[in-house]
Amino acid sequence: DQQVKQNSPSLSVQEGRISILNCDYTNSMFDYFLWYKKYPAEGPTFLISISSIKDKNEDGRFTVFLNKSAKHLSLHIVPSQPGDSAVYFCAAYRNNAGNMLTFGGGTRLMVKP
Amino acid sequence: ETGVTQTPRHLVMGMTNKKSLKCEQHLGHNAMYWYKQSAKKPLELMFVYSLEERVENNSVPSRFSPECPNSSHLFLHLHTLQPEDSALYLCASSQEGGGARETQYFGPGTRLLVL
């Protein structure tokens, strides 16, 4: 059973608009969440993270929101650019659980010019 | 070269073959990881090495055998694989190996097809 789920396999957005990528998790013991971005033929690259003691973290055009009661996090990209087209993975980590990141299945974002 | 490199980028092998995947990191990191990404499945952690010692083995079948001769190199030796082992194998590294909170830097992956 997947502990981290990204229920939308793909998302299409017009350039300049907001992209919202969603991620749900089931394990309430997770205390750190990360988003990775992956272009074709490249490995994932770290994008942004958030600790469970926060509900928002912002870095330029990227903002991650965490709703612990709903076990839900989202990544907002504003404004979206064609270069943002990629697969986005959310991942979760639990303290004292070794070095294990649990990944979601990914959402493919397509930003249309 | 910088970052994390993996060779080969593509590999086709029969079930009786023996092959090895290679990963090299040029970042001065102390921890290295092997991940597997099967079609329509999330990334799964396979092995973690910190300072050349294995610290995590996520219930991986013995037909996958990792080797970390030094902190810059990581190998995944493959032997008598099954078709369901066909996947993208990603290598990653991080600074200290002190936990998954550290940013991990990924290589481009090796796409493996087992016939």
Q: What integer pLDDT is reported at residue B92 of this predicted model?
A: 93
Closest CA to A10 of A79, A110, A111, A113: A110
Of B42, B99, B103, the CB nearest to A99: B99
Q: Mapping DSSP to helix (H, G, I), strand (E, B) and coil, where does residue B112 land?
A: strand
DSSP A55-76: SEEEETTEEEEEETTTTEEEEE
Closest CA to B45 of B29, B60, B30: B60
Q: In this model, does residue B101 exceed pLDDT 80?
A: no
Of B41, B56, B90, the CB nearest to A100: B56
Chain A residues whose C-beta sits inside 8 Å of any chain B C-beta: 2, 4, 32, 36, 41-46, 49, 89, 91, 93, 95, 98-106
Encoded tokens for A102 = 């649990």
> Contact B97/A99, CB-based, under 8 Å?
yes
Q: In this model, does residue B17 exceed pLDDT 70?
A: yes
Q: What integer pLDDT is reported at residue B99 of this predicted model?
A: 59
Q: What integer pLDDT is reported at residue B97 of this predicted model?
A: 62
The average pLDDT across B77-94 equals 94
- A57-61, B22-26, B55-59, B104-108: which range is least confident on average? B55-59
Distance between B91 CA and the closest CA of chain A, angstroms: 8
Distance between B109 CA and the closest CA of chain A, angstroms: 6
Q: Mapping DSSP to helix (H, G, I), strand (E, B) and coil, where does residue A91 land?
A: strand
Strand segments, DSSP code E, in chain A are 4-5, 10-14, 19-25, 32-38, 45-51, 56-59, 62-67, 72-77, 86-93, 101-103, 107-112
From chain A, pick out residues whose CB is under 8 angstroms from the CB of B33: 99
> Contact B100/A42, CB-based, under 8 Å?
no
> Contact B108/A46, CB-based, under 8 Å?
no
User: What pairing do the DSSP bridges indicate for beta strands B4-7 and A107-112?
Assistant: unpaired
Q: In this model, does residue B1 exceed pLDDT 60?
A: no
